Amino acid sequence: MEYGKIPIGVVVERRDSSNPWVESSWSTVDVLPGASPVVEWQRLSKGDGWERYHAATLTMELFKGETEGYRYNLTQEQPKIYVVLRQGEGNDEADIIPFLVTACPYEAMGYNESGDEIVDGVPMPAKLISWVQGFVDQYHVEEPFKKRKNKRYDPNDPRQGPRPRIEC
């Protein structure tokens, strides 16, 4: 296993819906660190009105430039792994497709804002907590805060363009 990359199995759950316009709902309920690749969804368990599947194994990759997000995640009472699910588009595809697995809450938030994807946070297993912490310890560089200074308007500077008119 390459440091900074690990295969993560994604466990999704389908629940019957009581909404007459929606047949069922999907959510991520667990992740499996070090899982083997899956070609087809594997049913793991079933109950009255629900089913759980190992839907995919995705590679979670850590990046040196995102250590601030990983650090923030690790300081939470329960660190999370975020899974991004996309809607299946064809008749031959599943209703949802696992798309991304990340430990960075900021990256997950970006996908959540679009409204096109489902973003679920599940508890980060202890094995992954120590792995992410080791990555942060090795690569995080504390950057000092630098306040930007506003530049004065120079009407002769063509890069600044004309000063906007404010009408009262």
For 125-163, the three-class secondary structure string (H helix, E strand, C coil) is: CHHHHHHHHHHHHHHCCCCCCCCCCCCCCCCCCCCCCCC
Q: What is the pLDDT of residue 154?
A: 74
Q: What is the pLDDT of residue 78?
A: 97
Q: What is the pLDDT of residue 163?
A: 63
The two three-digit tokens of residue 98, written as one number: 């696992």
Interval 106-127: pLDDT, tens: 999 999 988 889 999 999 999 9
pLDDT along the chain (168 residues), means of 10: 84 92 92 94 95 97 94 97 90 85 96 90 97 93 78 74 65
Q: What is the pLDDT of residue 165?
A: 65
* Residue 154 vs residues 124, 158, 165: alpha-carbon distances, Å: 52, 9, 15
Q: What is the pLDDT of residue 162?
A: 66
The ranges assigned to domains in the chain are 5-139
Q: What is the pLDDT of residue 150?
A: 76
The answer to whether the beta carbons of residues 50 and 17 sit under 8 Å apart is no
The two three-digit tokens of residue 34, written as one number: 């070090």
